Chain A
Amino acid sequence: MKSFLSITIFFFTLISFSQTTISGKIVDEKNKPIPNANIYIYGSYDGATSNNTGDFSFATTAEGNQTLIISALSFEIKKLEIVMNKYQSQTLVLKRIATELNEVLITAGTIESGGKSRVSVLKPLDILTTAGNPGDIVSAFKTLPGTQIVGESGKLFVRGGEANETQTFIDGIRVAQPYLQTANNVPTRSTFSPLLFKGTSFSTGGYSAEYGEALSSILVMNTIDEPDLEKTDVGVMTVGLGLGNTQKWKSNSLSVNTSYINLQPYQSLLPDNIEWIKPYESIGGETVFRQKLDRGLLKFYASYTAANFDLKQDDVNYPNKLRTQNKNNNLYSNLSYKGGFGTNWNIFAGISFAKSSNKGIFDVYNYDSSENASHLKLKLTKPISDKIKTSFGTDFFYTNFSESITNFNSGFHSNILAAFSETDFLFTNNLIAKVGFRFSKNYLLDESSIAPRLALAYKLAKNQQFSMAYGTFEQAPKNDYLKYTTHLQDEKAQHYILSYEFNKDKQIFKAEVYYKSYDNLVKYDTKSPVYNSNFNNSGTGYAKGLELFWRDNKNIKNLEYWISYSYIDTKRDYQNFPKQATPSFVADHTLSLVTKYWIQDWRSQIGATYTFSSGRPYNNPNEAIFMDGKTKAYNNLSVNWAYLISPQKILFFSVTNVAGIKNVYGYNFANTPNSVGIYESQAIVPTADRFFFVGFFWTISKDKKTNQLENL
């Protein structure tokens, strides 16, 4: 009995002696209490949850050295080494997790698509459910602020810049020829299938020092890192056929996509205003191979298109129709690796090879041109601390262009070496700066230069931020000039951008103002650039504007819509302009309204896109003032309808320019006046008033749920 008592007493003393009370208060970096934080001694059952004032208290029998864990939603886990009998009540500060949702991000000039990023204005689906040009990956971007509607070209024209001022990159590596060849005033399309890409970033200015040889804009597209599942995609369209397949293995995967396009049946049913001798026909394919490695990912991407057409077009300078025949072969391939090494180092390395050739007849001339291009890039990134991250790298552009027109040969061979470095400074959680520069040496033009880049972002409140960007940008003159002379310099531009962004719960508002100056633009003294033109770099120009964007997926059930508005004031003295003037591809006001409405009873998504742009300038030689003409305003309403027949079958209809509005892009004038002294004119109009598209898409996969809706 005595011994039992002593044991009991022993236990009681043991318990009462070793019981410690752990208490304190949990706050965030602004000293605000954090309720519902979980505080406990690691490996024991002892702990508590903080109350509304952030206070907590619990008793524990743990002794000696212990680890106190504090975890709370949206905060980083804190681990605190404590000695039990020395612990004193204290206030503990938790750090908010730097997620995209609360982080300060540099967004001036940048438009993201895909990914979970808060700055992402387009979802992957939008790339193709935007009524307009079905299947073209760049067409959705043409409904965003900063772009011009240049219907006769089909390319991206950004903030007063020519189409060639935008560079396209796939997985960080340049694509030398992103568009397919077309005849004069027949719109082109990009060579990429949306099936293989996720996440696209489109920058209308002020972009990173990593990207060079682009005066106005960059379009950065990334291929999918890991496909969801194995599948086969079949597409039957009024314009051709598509076939795709994805295979997955343990650490690698392969996707192949092929397409055959032939406009013959469509043309015979609904002829347009072009006299086709041989309607457009192309066969092409793309492939992505991905290999997961120990600490990185290796990707190989290749695309190939062989296309041909033969047509006759009216031309005001020729009594008979003008013939264009073309055979275009376009090959692009790139190999890239991204991964980590050492402690926190990241490496990116990539190489591309592109070969494009165009052969054919224009009027009575035979032409044959080819371009071989290559881009190599190496980039290293290292976070120096929580607040500072640096990256640096080098890249090399190689271009070999040659052309022969009825035995007259021209061409050039260019090498550009560049180095870049950029550092992010996170001053406070609300203020970030990115400072960098790009050094570039063009061996062909024998010219070197340094281009500084600077960007800042300041977060005003939880959902609002300002950001700004400044930089100088340069680009070698285009092939059309370099093939005749190399006594030229890089063209230069300076960008100043100020942007405001509001982002809350499926709603995005963005406003941006910018000023851009151009220098060293190429000028020549002939009607068009020819071998004996006198070229120089005395051109100048400017562009300034205001752009607004609003997207709302919240307020109206089943409706997603966005509105973009761009105002631009730009003039440039380049090419053979006698003075600074607004070029013909620029409209002062551009407005786009894109809507998508889901009707559950019909299992259908109905989309409509309305675009408006004010008149575009043209030069009328009958008038004394240069570039004084203005076309009438442009209006276009396009609609589409995606109907889900079954989980794996989709029917898709689209009509471009439903109302058949007669739009005029501009005017061509005769080179010489007619017998009564007047220069005759010819309107540049769309090849057809309306364009109809019907497609049937079928996905075959094991799970029977996936479909191509994401790609429509």
Chain B
Amino acid sequence: MTKIIIAFVLFITSLVSAQGQFEQGMGKAFQLWGEGKNTEASAIFERIAAAEKTSWLPNYYVALVNTTSAFGTKDAAQIDLLLAKAQNALDIELIKNPNNAELLVVQAMINTAWIAFDPMTNGPKLSGTVMGLYGKAEAIAPENPRVIFEKAEFEIGGAKFWGTDTKPMCAQIEKAIGLFATFKPETPFSPKWGLDRAKIALKNCK
């Protein structure tokens, strides 16, 4: 009897601890990311990605962390490496699920980082691709606030370049802020970022 109980308890504990491990690991990574320790955060997401093959989230965050790092970097070689790392992690998940709107948004962001790095060379080459990605993401998830917001923000960049009206994009940002309020992430660690940036962007609109 004791043996059975021990075995049962062991089984349950291992399950619970595995569950707990994912939560703990992701939690730790988010904490580090929040503290601006992007490299450490990316390292933990990378470890979790290797252990949890069924979840697309760890690789999604590896890609997102490194892409946002690239936006804040000036060194050409470093940008190259960060974006390559982001792209590699994203490719693993995009092959499994090419119609995941959140993944498409990050893909568009990687391309936007390339444009920001060298607008003269990459602008004409990649702007079309970025709009294509947002278009696809919007068709899949028309109510996803990140899709609406990131698309509008990219379009504002273009509108400023062309000197055209940004009102329609600002309206989209407002719509996105509304969607953020009702958006329910599927799991505690599913993407839910973007509201703060959307609010700042809306402020800039006015």
Interface pair B121/A505, CB less than 8 Å apart? no
25 contacts between A and B (CB under 8 A): A10-B6, A11-B13, A38-B47, A40-B43, A40-B46, A40-B50, A42-B50, A43-B50, A43-B51, A45-B21, A45-B24, A45-B25, A46-B47, A47-B43, A71-B46, A101-B77, A124-B121, A125-B124, A228-B125, A229-B128, A644-B162, A703-B129, A703-B135, A706-B127, A707-B124
Please tell me which one of the listed residues B44, B46, B161 contacts residue A603 in the complex, with CB atoms under 8 A apart.
B161
Interface pair B6/A7, CB less than 8 Å apart? yes
Which residues of A (559-607) have their CB < 8 Å from a CB of B?
Answer: 560, 598, 600, 603
Instruction: Give the dominant DSSP class at A's interface.
Output: loop
Interface pair A74/B125, CB less than 8 Å apart? no
Interface pair A69/B121, CB less than 8 Å apart? no
Interface pair A47/B47, CB less than 8 Å apart? yes
Q: Which residues of A contact B77 (CB under 8 A)?
A: 74, 101
Residue of A nearest to B24 (CB): A45
In the assembled complex, the CB of A71 is this many whole angstroms from the nearest CB of chain B, namely 7
Per-residue contact bits, chain A 212-236, to B (CB 8 Å; 1 contact, 0 not): 0000000000000000110000000
Please tell me if A668 contacts chain B, counting CB pairs below 8 Å.
no
Per-residue contact bits, chain A 638-650, to B (CB 8 Å; 1 contact, 0 not): 0000001011000
Residue of A nearest to B119 (CB): A598
In angstroms, Cα B158 to Cα A229, docked, is: 19
In angstroms, Cα B6 to Cα A705, docked, is: 65
Please tell me if A632 contacts chain B, counting CB pairs below 8 Å.
no
Which residues of B (1-56) have their CB < 8 Å from a CB of A?
Answer: 2, 5-6, 9, 13, 21, 24-25, 39-40, 42-44, 46-48, 50-51
Please tell me which one of the listed residues B13, B75, B85, B120 contacts residue A125 in the complex, with CB atoms under 8 A apart.
B120
Please tell me if B168 contacts chain A, counting CB pairs below 8 Å.
no
Residue of B nearest to A462 (CB): B77
Interface pair B121/A705, CB less than 8 Å apart? no
Interface pair A49/B47, CB less than 8 Å apart? no
Given the interface pairs A36-B39, A38-B43, A38-B47, the reply to whether A3 lies near B121 with Cβ below 8 Å is no
Q: Which residues of B contact A703 (CB under 8 A)?
A: 127-129, 131-132, 135
Which residues of A (664-712) have their CB < 8 Å from a CB of B?
Answer: 701-707, 709-710
Beyond the given A40-B47, A49-B39, could you list 4 further A-B residue pairs with CB under 8 A, ordered by the A residue number?
A: A36-B40, A73-B82, A125-B120, A709-B124
Given the interface pairs A38-B46, A49-B43, the reply to whether A598 lies near B120 with Cβ below 8 Å is yes
In angstroms, Cα B116 to Cα A678, docked, is: 67
Please tell me which one of the listed residues B85, B120, B131, B158 contacts residue A73 in the complex, with CB atoms under 8 A apart.
B85
Q: Which residues of B contact A273 (CB under 8 A)?
A: none
Per-residue contact bits, chain B 155-170, to A (CB 8 Å; 1 contact, 0 not): 0001001110000000
In angstroms, Cα B120 to Cα A125, docked, is: 9
Please tell me if A90 contacts chain B, counting CB pairs below 8 Å.
no
Which residues of A (116-174) have their CB < 8 Å from a CB of B?
Answer: 123-125
Please tell me if B139 contacts chain A, counting CB pairs below 8 Å.
no
Please tell me if A387 contacts chain B, counting CB pairs below 8 Å.
no
10 A-B pairs with the lowest CB-CB distances in the bound complex, closest first:
A38-B43, A703-B128, A705-B127, A40-B47, A705-B128, A706-B128, A36-B39, A73-B81, A703-B131, A710-B124
Given the interface pairs A38-B47, A603-B162, A706-B124, the reply to whether A7 lies near B9 with Cβ below 8 Å is yes
